[in-house]
Amino acid sequence: MSRRVLVVLSEFGYWGEELVGPLDVIQPRGYEVDVVTAKGKRAHALPPSMEEGYFDPPLAKVVTDEHYARRTREVDASDLLDDPIDLSSWFPERPYFSAQNFARELEEYYTARDAAWEDLKKYDALLMVGGSGPLIDMVNNQRLHDVVLGFRHHNKLIAAECYAVTVLAFAREWTERTSIIWGKHVTGHALEYDYKDGTGFLNTDLNMGPPPYPLEFILRDATGPDGQYHGGVGRVRSTVLDYPYLTGRSTQDSKLVGELMVEVLENGLERYGW
């Protein structure tokens, strides 16, 4: 039976290996892939993720080898990313409380969201690819939060890598305000591996310096006393599955994220890495 995965990419740059790693596992197995971006613009890989031999200062080692540099260039130049789904046209925007006809607009919002959630039934899993770009158009995107909530509503696999894991921390029903990963086990970019300078994006000359927030602190708070953040500092990989959430810390987890997606969807795996 064919399976279908919805892949979310940032219009401000995704990290190549974090897309290619899972794709190279799931596509040969016949998985179909649909790509969605915040406003329907074509996504592109961040230049360092296409540069063979790119040296990562916090890790003090090369993180882009010849294989993933080449595969990233191939995927980035392919037609796979040419016509992404426009999330802003697919999922509704929640109205402001100050809207003149707030009650009716809120009803329309929920009705439209329910319809969009029905659309999600055709997918078996969600994959949110990391990099610095998600900091701009994915992490605090209410529509993307609603996509995540929809997959959760249908009890479907939700995978996130690197800084895209922050989407899980912030995704929540606004009437409840509790993170959906409260009580769950997750991983994400550890404080030790954060940049001190050089956080850049496509489509802008902005160099933010360090990331605008320490993801580790956010995840520790969002998982609460009964959940746990796992940094895996000192280990090559840190990948955690606490169904329905599958989280990968960074680039080196990408292939394993794809392998675990297969294990979840084909063999019912629900726990890994903790």
How does pLDDT run across 15-62, given as a tens digit for each residue? 999 999 999 999 999 999 999 999 999 999 999 999 999 988 888 889
Task: Please report whether residue 30 resides in a domain.
Answer: yes
Residue 166, domain extent: 4-86+118-272
Task: Please report whether residue 41 resides in a domain.
Answer: yes
Q: Largest Cα–Cα distance in the chain?
A: 56
| Contact criterion met (CB below 8 Å) for 16 and 46 | yes
How many domains would you assign to the chain?
1
Mean pLDDT rounded to a whole number for the chain: 96
| Full-model pTM | 0.97
Residue 47: CATH number of its domain: 3.40.50.880
**Residue 170's pLDDT band (boundaries 50, 70, 90)?**
very high
Task: Please report whether residue 105 resides in a domain.
Answer: no
pLDDT for position 2: 85
| Contact criterion met (CB below 8 Å) for 8 and 126 | yes
- What is the chain's Cα-based Rg? 18
**HSE of 57, CA atoms in CB hemisphere, 13 A:** 7
- 162-175 average pLDDT score: 96
- 158-186 average pLDDT score: 96
Task: Please report whether residue 103 resides in a domain.
Answer: no
pLDDT for position 1: 65
pLDDT for position 205: 84
- 66-93 average pLDDT score: 97
Q: Give the tokens for residue 183.
A: 């009580």
Residue with tokens 């810390």, as numbered in its chain: 249
